[in-house]
Amino acid sequence: MPAKRSSLKIAQGLEIPVSILEIVRREEMLWIARDAASMDAFPPCIKNILQRTGDGKGRHRLGAILSSFLGQAGWSEPEARPLWGRASGGLDERIFSKWFGKMHCPKCATIKKQSKGYPDLGAAKLGICIPDELCPIFEGPVEYACGLRFEEDRRSKGILRPIKSYYLTRVFDWSRGREAEIELSEAEHKDLEKTLLELADHKDKILACTGAKVRGRLRPKFLLQDREGPRRQMLSDIL
């Protein structure tokens, strides 16, 4: 059985020489309940968000958590938007539109983490996670509200909806001498294709990958480096 490939470790200011081995387009799927979960079935964290006035620290994070939860818990947009609006206290509705039915609701492990702020959804210091006796049974708020304990529950109680395409890219990391994987968005894949075309016209260059901050998140960016000299081994000798 082949060893599992690690993720390419990108960082700002670090340029990693790579070779592209394979690019596979994938669809990211979002589980959505067939029947809307009742408010009585909501987990404590969601009930606590609904009880807040929507002002104060972390309201963007809480608005995103609530919107993504309602989208997966089977609520229709006309029903969910007013409920979200009352809890968000005048928060920009673009937050609702971005997360409702388009993003995964964070699991408990994420909600319990510390966060520097939106769009990271850690809410450890916001006082919403006050577990009850059922919380340890479930992985996250959606699982709690919809009673999802087993894979069969997911198949029988909901549907999978594609929400975005991404490109799983297998590379050879020359700095470490091993294969790695990295996920690219549509825009990042287009940038890579453009860079590869430039590479074909510059035999004195090699492909490299670095990290760049995009809206607060570290994302991959490909560029060309000057070729410093012949590599010690050919890729075909290593694979």
Across the chain, mean pLDDT equals 92
Is pLDDT above 80 for 3?
no
Residue ranges per domain, the chain? Answer: 6-28+164-238, 29-162
Q: Residue 4 has what pLDDT?
A: 62
Q: Residue 53 has what pLDDT?
A: 62
Pairing of β 217-226 and β 205-214: antiparallel
Q: pTM of the entire structure?
A: 0.76
Sign of CA dihedral 117, 119, 125, 127: positive
Structure tokens at 120: 């990271």
User: What is the C-alpha separation between 54 and 67, in angstroms, rounded?
Assistant: 13
Tens of pLDDT, residue by residue over 50-101, are 998 656 789 999 999 999 999 999 999 999 999 999 998 889 999 999 999 9
**Amino acid letter for position 14:** L
Q: Are 192 and 222 in contact (CB under 8 A)?
A: yes
Tens of pLDDT, residue by residue over 189-208, are 999 999 999 999 998 999 99
